[in-house]
Structure 1
Amino acid sequence: MTETIFMDEDIQREVLDELLWDPAVEASEIGVTVDAGVVTLTGTVETYSMSSAAEAAAHRVRGVKAVANNIQVTPPSDRTRTDTDIAKAAANALEWNARVPHQQIKTTVRDGWVTLEGHVRWHYQKVAAYKSVRDLMGVRGVSDLITVAAPSASAEEIKSKIEDSLTRSALLDVERIQVDVRDGKVILKGSVDSWVERDKAEKTAWAAPGVTDVENQIAVSS
């Protein structure tokens, strides 16, 4: 199969179009440069959720190998919150999210930057905790240091379940992805055609019982 070549100027144009398409992004405030398939985002936005949405939009574009998010978050004066306000809001958001075992998570806020620590049994709980605080008013960034302490399972069992799930996926070509498991850590290798496929493979690996970490080495073809 002939490999598709994506030119940097084409990727830049499509990333800009994707930013304009996404209603969660203030595209006029964001700059885009591309070098060898690596996208760099610059500019200033009002919320961390806008920065995250812009990053996700760039990852959706074909040919993008990686994204460097250098967007600055500067809340307007009427949306600025003290660290105490943000900490209280974060604690409430985590407690009210049914997917989050909030008793196991410690939250620290400094200069608008939220740090999450603790441990959960499943990766989806880690993601839910991150999303709970990401969109809070006044948040400038989030460091998610939560670890996953999943129930133990054999490497063979984990590998088999992941490969079965990859095979079921209509989005992925399982023949191009290799799965290795060592002490609960999954290592993914191979190549895919888009960042969306790469992300799908990683999410699939995280869903397997017994997985404590995922190292995604899958390359995005260009």
Structure 2
Amino acid sequence: MRRRTQMSWDDDVVANVSDELFWDPKVDSAAIAVSAKDGAVTLRGTVGSLREKREARKAAQRVFGVNWVDDELKVRLMDGQGRADSELRGFVLQALTLDSLVPATVDAKVADGFVTLTGTVDWQYQRDEADLVASSIAGALDVFNEIEITQPTPNAADTEESIKKAFKRNAALDADALRISTLDGAVTVKGKVSSWSEHDEAIAAAWAAPGVTSVRDDLTIKY
């Protein structure tokens, strides 16, 4: 009976994820196959751009019951969207330059359509912005973010306290269910959250603390 119930739950998750992909106008769901096991969803198939691949992952994460998404989608560029590596790098660098949130210390290289971001920034949001910009350029098959954060390391106690306060201020978070630890700018976030959106809020709050250079995600989604 338990197996039958779990299979029914997974079937519901698959159906709901498929519906969400179809519902999202940024995603062409026709070539995407969905499977699920114990709340872990796998996406397979092809999409027309890297941005669409990422939007499909976000759509799956929005669905109730999903606690993990394995994105195995492949980017297959439409005719006319393929670009030589040098041309693609030029477009990426131009877009990075035009974005005021991305500092001039960020660089990019391209090999076989795969973009690698390098350089240094002061904040995680700048890494995220550079990643978003590069992934939006037509012709990019994937983006690897190797940008380093170079903030001075703060006092560990100060970092923990500032993150805890940020958790408590955030109406989307149950601060009492979250725990953090820090060491030399590396933060670990543990605890239980009730959705992917709450998960993302907690990780974003941890990254926003001054001096944080990495965040380890040990959160568990419990519906």
What is the TM-score when the length of structure 2 is the normalising length? 0.94
Partner of residue 93, structure 1: 95
Give me the identity figure in percent.
35
Q: Quote the offset at 1:34 in angstroms.
A: 0.4
The C-alpha deviation readout for 1:71-114, integer Å capped at 9, x for no partner, is 11011121111111100001101111100013x22211111110
**For 1:141-178, what per-residue CA distance to the aligned partner results, in whole angstroms no more than 9, with x for missing partners?**
11111121223311111111111111111111111110
Unaligned runs of 5+ in 2: 1-5
Which residue of structure 2 aligns with residue 24 of structure 1? 26
Aligned residue in 1 for 2:176: 175
Deviation at 1:221, TM superposition (A): 1.2
Aligned to 2:36, which of 23, 34, 37?
A: 34
Q: What residue number does 1:150 align with?
A: 151
Aligned equivalents of 2:79 and 2:28: distance in 1?
18
Structure 1: gaps (5+ residues):
none
2 CA distance for matches of 1:192 and 1:63? 12
Is the 1:87–1:108 Cα contact (8 Å) retained in structure 2? yes
Instruction: Supply the AA of the counterpart residue of 2:45.
Output: G
Aligned ranges for residues 112-191 of structure 1 at < 5 Å?
112-191=113-192
TM-aligned CA deviation for residue 209 of structure 1: 0.7
Q: Which residue of 1 aligns with 2:50?
A: 48
CA distance in 1: counterparts of 2:140 and 2:65, whole angstroms: 31
CA contact (8 A) 1:62 1:193 kept: no
Secondary structure of the 1:107 match is: strand
What does residue 218 of structure 1 align with? 219
Higher relative contact order (CA 8 A, sep 6+): 1
Contact 1:121 1:151 in 2 (8 A): no
CA distance in 2, matches of 1:145, 1:59: 25
Q: 3-state SS of the aligned residue for 1:71?
A: strand
Q: Which whole-Å deviations, capped at 9, do the CAs of 1:10-31 have from their partners, x for residues lacking one?
A: 2111111211121111111211
Q: Secondary structure at the match of 1:131?
A: helix
1:98 counterpart SS class = coil
CA apart distance, 1:217: 0.2
Amino acid at match of 1:132: V
Superposition TM-score, scaled by structure 1 size: 0.94
> 1:31-83: CA deviations, max 9, x gaps?
11001111100111111100010011111112212111111101112111111
Check conservation: 1:89, 1:136, Cα contact below 8 A.
yes
Shift of 1:207: 0.5
Counterpart of 1:200 in structure 2: which amino acid?
E
Q: What stretches of structure 1 move > 3 A for 4+ residues in a row?
A: none
- Count of aligned positions: 217
Root mean square deviation of aligned Cα: 1.3
Instruction: Give me the whole-angstrom Cα distance separating, in 2, the residues matched to 1:143 and 1:65.
Output: 24
Report the counterpart of residue 106 of structure 2 in structure 1: 105
CA distance in 2, matches of 1:62, 1:114: 33
